[in-house]
Amino acid sequence: GVLLLTNDGELAQQLTHPSNQIRKVYQVTLDKPLEKADFETILKGVVLEDGPAPVDVLAYTDPRDKRNVGVEIHSGRNRIVRRIFEHVGYDVKNLDRVLFAGLTKKNVDRGKWRYLNEKEVRTLKHFSKGK
113-130 tens-digit pLDDT: 999 999 988 888 886 665
| Mean model confidence pLDDT for the chain | 90
15-32 tens-digit pLDDT: 887 778 888 999 999 999
The domain that contains 106 carries what CATH number?
A: 3.30.2350.10
In a domain, 83, yes or no: yes
DSSP characters for the chain? Answer: ------S-HHHHHHHH-GGG---EEEEEEESS---HHHHHHHHH-EEETTEEE--SEEEES-TT-TTEEEEEE----TTHHHHHHHHTT--EEEEEEEEETTEE-TT--TT---PPPHHHHHHHHHHHTT-
Domain that holds residue 31: 9-128
| Number of folded domains that form the chain | 1
